[in-house]
Amino acid sequence: MQYNQLSIMKNVHLAVLCASIIIMVSVSGCIWEEEKEKKGEEIYVLEAVISVDKNIVYPNEIITFDASSSKGDIEKYYWNFTGGNNWEDEGTEVTHEYSEPGYYIVKLKVVDVNEDHDYDTVDVYVNYKAEYEGNITKDEEEKSYLFPLKTSAQSATITLQYESNRVEYGPLSKPNTNDLDLYVYYNESDDSEVKNSSTLLDPKATGTIEEVIKLSRSDLIWNLTGMRASVKWAPDCVSDAAIEYTLRIEVYYNY
């Protein structure tokens, strides 16, 4: 019994001694760092830092990435624009452009003289934008336009514009009616409707008529490849002449 007590006390003393040494080393290290700072000595830091001139763009728009704010004795700057293991040694300042819309993560890896390394990342959003000018007749009934989607798409806005048909006749007037309607469908062949803009217009509307459909994230996730926007001849259109219009489709990948 006495032997066990002595052994336990010995182990306790040993543990206390080890803890004291660790604390002393830690404290002395902190004091040493503080002394270095007081003496004006630099503490070595290796840090990768990306600066970007813009990170919300359209396809084929040039983006400039700058790593000159990175810290350390850096020898190599490696860039990754497309994921995977596609690292490129391109220096401190590089340009890149994306031909396809979507959400991308750009990575920087810096390597110093001791072959230590550090990373930084930046998000890039490539939005989609297409604009069409056309005309439609009563016999054609509908013209469709496909637009691509990726799973990272967050929202979309489809805008149809054409000129009001309102006409003034002195004290009397011909009220404005819907000449065209705008519909959005899930894909090229499926007529499952997402949304439409066939609500009645203001009878006194003049100038450019604008019909807008806004699609949320929940509207877009049902189709992972693309959707279809259709310009239709409205049932209450009183004209027989071709109607000119502009259709603008925008898909946003940024929140």
CA pair distance 124, 253, nearest whole angstrom: 9
**How do residues 58-92 score in pLDDT, each as one tens digit?**
999 999 999 999 999 999 999 999 989 999 988 99
Q: How confident is the model at residue 203 (pLDDT cuts 50, 70, 90)?
A: confident
Checking if the pLDDT of 13 tops 90, the result is: no
Which of the residue ranges 5-14, 26-35, 170-179, 219-228 has the most confident prediction, judged by mean pLDDT?
219-228
| Closest residue by Cα to residue 223 from 149, 156, 158, 130 | 149
The predicted pLDDT at position 221 comes to 84
Q: Is the pLDDT of residue 50 over 90?
A: yes
Contacts of 210 (CB under 8 A, 6+ apart): 159, 160, 161
Q: Contact, 178 vs 236, CB < 8 A?
A: yes
CA-based torsion, 62, 66, 67, 70: positive or negative: negative
- What the chain holds in terms of domains, given with CATH numbers, is 51-126 (2.60.40.10), 128-252 (2.60.120.380)
Task: Determine the Cα–Cα distance for residues 162 and 181; give it in Å rounded to an integer.
Answer: 11
Q: How confident is the model at residue 113 (pLDDT cuts 50, 70, 90)?
A: very high
H/E stretch holding 211: strand 208-215
Q: Residue 12: which H helix or E strand, with range? A: helix 2-38
pLDDT attached to residue 166: 77
Q: What's the pLDDT at 172?
A: 64
Please report where in the chains the tokens 């001791």 appear, as a residue.
114
State yes or no: pLDDT of 34 exceeds 60: no
| Residue 152: pLDDT over 90 | yes
